A and B are shown apart, each in its own frame.
Chain A
Amino acid sequence: MGSLAEIDWCDTPLVAPTPNTEVEREIRNHLGFPLNSIAYLVPVPWVAWTLATNMQQVAHISGRLTDLITLIVSMENSCRHCYGATRSILRLTGYSEKRISQLEEDLYQSELDERTLTALSFARKCARSDPRPDASDLAGLAGAGYSREAIAEVAYVATNACYSNRLATILAIPPNDIEQLEKNPLSRLLRPLVRVLLEKFITRAQRKNVSKFQPRAAQPGTPRLGGKLIDALHGSPTAPMLECILEECWQSPHLSRRTKALTFVVVAQALNCPVCTTEGRQLMELEGWRRDDIDHLLRYLSSDQLTPFEARFIHFARDTVNYKVPDIQYTARRFVAGLKKEEIIEICGLVALANWVARLSIILEQSR
């Protein structure tokens, strides 16, 4: 964790951008403005859409709190791309440099109220997950006046930021264009106008998110990835978003379902998430794994059932749970050598999503 200038960030992205695609145009129309990061992701549409639509449509917490959570988590994860972008959004939407610096230097010395600080502290714990937050953290949030739905949304926003941070960090996506906009003297002069426009675009994109991510009818009795989480988020606009993202990841053709189930289980085990481990195991069984083989795999991280690629991949997936930015960017380069662009992007999206889901599962502690 350090200030923006101190983050050690690889200058060369892991994959080259793919400009002028149909998906990029669709996303630009959806958002109302271009995002430079999208060109690095469009070969795998679900990964691109997940990053593009991370302006969460929340119903129980304020937009300001979601921005602050994203800032704190991105700073915690030292994600140059997301941290810089969120910082610029806060500046453009009225936060002074002084207030942001206070937050960066010491959360507890900032001028924020106790309620907001409790939420930010919880968000930071979700980002670290070492150890993962527990029932006492949830009780702390409830004590600060957050409803059950609001707590779920705080966790959703924090863990969604973990997704974006991992994706941008592993792929070493360059800083977001919005940083240039914020530094531009003309936009500084016209800040009130820029602020109105930006808020309008974000509100419009959030409205469009609602129509894009419609709740789906679940088939009873069929194991679903993140099924319990989606149920726990019921009543929040985030539930159909997460459901849609998980389903599209599952249907995407670049990695096998077997590999996807394996990734979810290994990351869930690394993060000590029993619910996600159980769900992942069910999916592995559907993909032909025997229970004994899964037990052996989770105990010894090896199995004769693993392909040579999977045997390497599980170790890479583990490395994405706790990392230092230069290390994970270096490890990723070694791991993806020789793979296709689509596979690389899906791998990055998959490990980021597995981290998101396993961290978010803390909200299930509320249901118990």
Chain B
Amino acid sequence: MNAVLPILLAVALVLLLAFLLVRARRRIGRLRAALNSASLELQQVQMAFHRFAPRRVVEEIIRQGISIHGERQEVSIMFVDIVGFTKLAERMEAEQLVEVLNGYFECMSLAISQHRGYVSKFIGDGLMALFGTPHSNRWHALDAVWAALAMRAALKDYNASLESRNLDPLEIGIGIHCGPVVAGVIGNQQLMEFTVIGDAVNTAARIEAQTRFHQVDILISQAIRQQLDEKFRVRELPPITVKGKREALTLFTVESYADRP
């Protein structure tokens, strides 16, 4: 009896140790799986964020938090809006309106990205696109105007498809200006976006609003005009004073381009 007890105790101890070891291994396995899953999720979030901001900006945010500084850059800014959208919205069913708008945004976004532009935000029925950021591009003004011409052509095709469904065609106004801006991630913990701020942005928005007054679809500023060659057929419009600007702006409408880029 005296000899059996220590053996039993030893066996029990071994069994207990084995049980603890198995439990610890299972726990480590679960923790590792959770860690891998979290890491994968983080990678996916990082990848998704790369689409909205430059990689180096995303990496700085991950390393230092969101309080990062913006960068001063020279960019071209494009504002696009649908002319007479309110009336159009009144004539259409909500579902149909959403479908028409989605198709329109898809055409416009494609024309913009094919000319190295970046759709920064959708504002109701309009959008703001940037050329020259997130990736630097010395020919940003040229690309912006080529994109505008491509958007005009894309809208013509899209309108043909709308008319075949007995829907009213869309008309747009595009305003383009270039100048120095501060580009960076702006917002708070809840809502952040990579965007640009500066006087050039406001001017581009004002130029777009003038398309209705001049009844043209593409308007560019003098600063953009200076970066175009003679292959662009442009027409100068009478100077106009816009809100927030003391001096009158000379604007140009772009009619065509001699070669297709």
Chain B residues whose C-beta falls within 8 Å of the C-beta of A131 in the assembled complex: 136
In the complex, are the beta carbons of B138 and A270 less than 8 A apart? yes
Task: Summarize B's interface: helix, strand, loop or mixed.
Answer: loop
In the complex, are the beta carbons of B43 and A3 less than 8 A apart? yes
Contact of B54 among A130, A311, A327 (CB under 8 A): A130
Q: In angstroms, how far is the closest chain B Cβ from the Cβ of A282? A: 21
Tell me the nearest residue of chain B to A306, going by C-beta.
B259
In the complex, are the beta carbons of B43 and A128 less than 8 A apart? no
Q: In angstroms, how far is the closest chain A Cβ from the Cβ of B65? A: 15
- Given A1-B55, A105-B39, A130-B135, do A301 and B261 touch, yes or no (CB 8 Å)? yes
**Separation of A322 and B50 alpha carbons in the complex (Å):** 14
Contact of B47 among A6, A272, A302, A315 (CB under 8 A): A6
In the complex, are the beta carbons of A302 and B135 less than 8 A apart? no
Chain A residues whose C-beta falls within 8 Å of the C-beta of B43 in the assembled complex: 2-3, 6, 105
Contact of B229 among A1, A302, A319 (CB under 8 A): A302
Q: Which A residues, 283 to 321, have Cβ-Cβ distances below 8 Å to chain B?
A: 296, 299-302, 311, 315, 318-319
**Separation of A2 and B228 alpha carbons in the complex (Å):** 38
In the complex, are the beta carbons of A128 and B56 less than 8 A apart? yes
**Separation of A1 and B44 alpha carbons in the complex (Å):** 10
- A33 interfacial by beta-carbon distance below 8 Å: no
The 0/1 profile, CB within 8 Å of A marked 1, for residues 48-72 of chain B is 0010001110000001000000000
**Separation of A37 and B2 alpha carbons in the complex (Å):** 75
Chain B residues whose C-beta falls within 8 Å of the C-beta of A95 in the assembled complex: none
**Separation of A301 and B136 alpha carbons in the complex (Å):** 16
Count A interface residues, CB 8 Å.
23
- B122 interfacial by beta-carbon distance below 8 Å: no
**Separation of A299 and B135 alpha carbons in the complex (Å):** 18
- B139 interfacial by beta-carbon distance below 8 Å: yes
**Separation of A318 and B139 alpha carbons in the complex (Å):** 10
Contact of B55 among A128, A301, A327 (CB under 8 A): A128
In the complex, are the beta carbons of B56 and A300 less than 8 A apart? no
Contact of B136 among A3, A130, A299, A327 (CB under 8 A): A130
Chain B residues whose C-beta falls within 8 Å of the C-beta of A327 in the assembled complex: 113
- B107 interfacial by beta-carbon distance below 8 Å: no
In the complex, are the beta carbons of A2 and B139 less than 8 A apart? no
Contact of A296 among B55, B113, B228, B229 (CB under 8 A): B229
**Separation of A2 and B43 alpha carbons in the complex (Å):** 7
Chain A residues whose C-beta falls within 8 Å of the C-beta of B142 in the assembled complex: 300-301
In the complex, are the beta carbons of B63 and A108 less than 8 A apart? yes
- A269 interfacial by beta-carbon distance below 8 Å: yes
Q: In angstroms, how far is the closest chain A Cβ from the Cβ of B142? A: 6
- B87 interfacial by beta-carbon distance below 8 Å: no
In the complex, are the beta carbons of B259 and A302 less than 8 A apart? yes
Chain B residues whose C-beta falls within 8 Å of the C-beta of A319 in the assembled complex: 116
Q: Which B residues, 204 to 226, have Cβ-Cβ distances below 8 Å to chain A?
A: none
In the complex, are the beta carbons of A301 and B47 less than 8 A apart? no
Q: In angstroms, how far is the closest chain A Cβ from the Cβ of B75? A: 14
- B165 interfacial by beta-carbon distance below 8 Å: no
- B235 interfacial by beta-carbon distance below 8 Å: no
Chain B residues whose C-beta falls within 8 Å of the C-beta of A270 in the assembled complex: 137-138
**Separation of A30 and B116 alpha carbons in the complex (Å):** 42
Q: In angstroms, how far is the closest chain B Cβ from the Cβ of A193? A: 30
- B246 interfacial by beta-carbon distance below 8 Å: no
Chain A residues whose C-beta falls within 8 Å of the C-beta of B261 in the assembled complex: 301-302, 311, 315
In the complex, are the beta carbons of B228 and A300 less than 8 A apart? yes
**Separation of A3 and B39 alpha carbons in the complex (Å):** 12
**Separation of A314 and B228 alpha carbons in the complex (Å):** 17
In the complex, are the beta carbons of A302 and B54 less than 8 A apart? no
- B231 interfacial by beta-carbon distance below 8 Å: yes
Q: In angstroms, how far is the closest chain A Cβ from the Cβ of B222? A: 17
Can you give 27 contacting A-B residue pairs, CB < 8 Å?
Answer: A1-B47, A1-B50, A1-B55, A2-B47, A3-B43, A6-B43, A105-B39, A105-B43, A128-B55, A130-B54, A130-B136, A131-B136, A269-B138, A272-B136, A272-B138, A300-B142, A300-B227, A300-B228, A301-B139, A301-B142, A302-B229, A302-B261, A311-B259, A311-B261, A318-B139, A322-B135, A327-B113
Chain B interface (Cβ within 8 Å of chain A)?
39, 43, 47, 50, 54-56, 63, 113, 116, 135-139, 142, 227-229, 231, 259, 261
Chain A interface (Cβ within 8 Å of chain B)?
1-3, 6, 105, 108, 128, 130-131, 269-270, 272, 296, 299-302, 311, 315, 318-319, 322, 327
3 shortest interchain CB distances as A-B pairs = A300-B229, A322-B135, A2-B47
Given contact pairs A1-B55, A302-B259, a sample of 4 additional A-B residue pairs in the complex whose CB atoms are under 8 Å apart: A270-B137, A296-B229, A301-B139, A327-B113
